[in-house]
Amino acid sequence: MATGNVTLEDIYAARERIHAGIVRTPLMESITLGQLCGRRVFCKFENLQMTGAFKERGALNKLLQLSEVERKKGVIAASAGNHAQGLAYHGGRLGIPVTIVMPEHTPIVKVVHTQEMGARVIQIGEGYDDAHEHACQLASQEGLTFVHPFDDPDVIAGQGTIALELVEENVPFDSVLVPVGGGGLISGIALAMKRLRPDVRVVGVEAENMASMAAALKGREFEPRGKTIADGIAVRRVGRLTRELVAQNVDAMVTVSDAQIAHAVQLMLEIEKSLVEGAGAVGLAALLHRAAEVPGERSVLILSGGNMDITMLARIIEKGLVADGRLTRLTVDVPDVPGGLAAVTSRISAEKGNIREVIHQRAFYDTPIGIARVEFIVETRSREHVRQIADALAQDGYKVEALA
């Protein structure tokens, strides 16, 4: 394949190469998500790949096109996540040595999983940029083939095979929402979709703290706003090739907040019984919270991956419950007398709120002597239920503030 160019024929050729090594993941309609989003919603479950993410497609397509000399020497990549595992897994299957360079602070579970798949793992640097630089140096020193996680025509063609599967399904849809980090996934999907179904609108979704593609399309230098729970798409610098393909083929870009992403992760677990990592849930977050920017009445969500630290999952679920109005913080000014606190807890319980935590403060708020400010973390049914509890306390004469 010529460097710097990707065609529909390349994507079809990639499909022929990789079909025996990857899962043709299901496309299923979610009635419940459709009701929540006000449109028909179909989910493409790429989190069901062997390594839990779509990255296998591009990695395998690249590996299968190496020369015998390149296979013998091996490949190298810089990655702290799904690209590393996809490359390690298929490299191991094919007998190709794989080296992965990860930042030093990569979660240990990701390091262990990659090593268990047979890869040599080197940890160096504070972030991806340091790891990338070191990987390029090692590639030169050891004669290894560098496999870029997104800005590579073979990788892009492999990711584009998802679009071929979508158009072959007997499912009506008029928009596709695709997570965007470096742009490899949406580049392949959008290129194929615009050739095969030009009527379908392709919408890229980024985490607002890492909206590097949106900045690149406007010709601006990206300025990070902080970390994001969607670490799979936390890319500071998009690819040259991917930026061009996105500019040519993508209809719109949308950003979503971490709270909105957490809400989407929680709903996927609860409704679809499926673990989707933050990056994979951004499409649902866009439908739930930015629906006016997403055209169409029948949308496909690319659930790009499901790899997440269990400790991170617990925090995300709590954030999702807050966004859904099912976990709230009530701040109540309570008379600092015997029975004062019990009266408030009894009232919250009578309104069917489940108290999870009580923080009793006498000294750290500017309240009158004899008044304690108490924070209650309460499980509720909905935002309306939060208002019901707050109103009941106010009717009893308490000063109360509900903070979601």
Give me the pLDDT at residue 106, please.
79
Same domain membership, residue 248 and residue 191? yes
On whether both 166 and 74 belong to a single domain, the answer is: no
The pTM of the full predicted model, rounded to 2 decimals, is 0.88
Q: Are residues 309 and 346 in the same domain?
A: no
Residue 2: inside a domain: no
Residue 2: what pLDDT? Answer: 37
187 and 285 assigned to the same domain? yes
> Given this model, what pLDDT does residue 313 score?
87
- Strongest mean pLDDT among 10-14, 123-127, 258-262, 399-403: 10-14
Looking at the structure, tell me whether residues 181 and 44 fall in a common domain.
yes
- Looking at the structure, do residues 195 and 252 belong to the same domain, yes or no? yes
Domain boundary among 146, 170, 193: 146
Structure tokens belonging to residue 249: 């083929």
Judged against a pLDDT cut of 60, whether residue 37 lies above it is answered with: yes
Q: Residues 224, 103: one domain?
A: no
In a shared domain, residues 24 and 167: yes
Question: Is the domain of 120 the same as that of 66?
Answer: yes
Q: Residue 154: pLDDT above 60?
A: yes
Establish if 1 belongs to a structural domain.
no
Let me know if residue 99 belongs to a domain: yes
Q: pLDDT tens digits for 64-89?
A: 999 999 999 999 999 878 999 999 99
Residue 404: pLDDT band with limits 50, 70, 90: low
Catalytic residues, by residue number, are: 55, 304
pLDDT beyond 60 at 3: no
Please check whether residue 152 lies inside any domain of the structure.
no
Question: What is the domain-level CATH number for residue 341?
Answer: 3.30.70.260
Residue 293, SS3 per DSSP:
helix
> Residue 108's pLDDT is what?
81
Q: Bigger pLDDT: 360 or 214? A: 214
Answer whether residue 395 is part of any domain. yes
Tens of pLDDT, residue by residue over 112-134, are 889 999 999 999 988 777 889 99
d(CA 192, CA 172): 17
Segment among 17-31, 202-216, 304-318 with least mean pLDDT: 304-318
Q: In terms of domains, do 217 and 335 share one?
A: no
- On whether residue 344 sits in a domain, the answer given is yes
The last residue of one of the domains, among 322, 346, 375, is: 322
Is 80 exceeded by the pLDDT of residue 368?
Answer: no
In degrees to the nearest 10, what's the CA dihedral of 87, 92, 96, 98?
A: 50
Q: What is the CATH number of the domain that holds 120?
A: 3.40.50.1100
Do the domain assignments include residue 248?
yes
For every residue of 324-390, DSSP letters joined together read TTSEEEEEEEEE-STTHHHHHHHHHHHTT-EEEEEEEESSSS---TTEEEEEEEEE-S-HHHHHHHH
236 located within any domain: yes
- The answer to whether residues 114 and 100 belong to one domain is yes
| SS3 letters across 241-284 | HHHHHHHHHCCEEEEECHHHHHHHHHHHHHHHCCCCCCHHHHHH
Of 264, 257, 146, 154, which is closest to residue 208 (Cα–Cα)? 257
- Of 146, 167, 187, the position where a domain reaches its end is 146
On whether both 287 and 169 belong to a single domain, the answer is yes
**Could you list the residue range(s) of the whole structural domain that residue 175 is in?**
8-55+157-322
CA distances from residue 184 to 103, 245, 248 in whole angstroms, order as listed: 21, 9, 14
pLDDT at 365 (0 to 100): 67
Q: What is the pLDDT of residue 125?
A: 87
Selection from 42-46, 237-241, 364-368 with the highest mean pLDDT: 42-46
Angle (CA) 234-237-240 rounded to 5° is 130
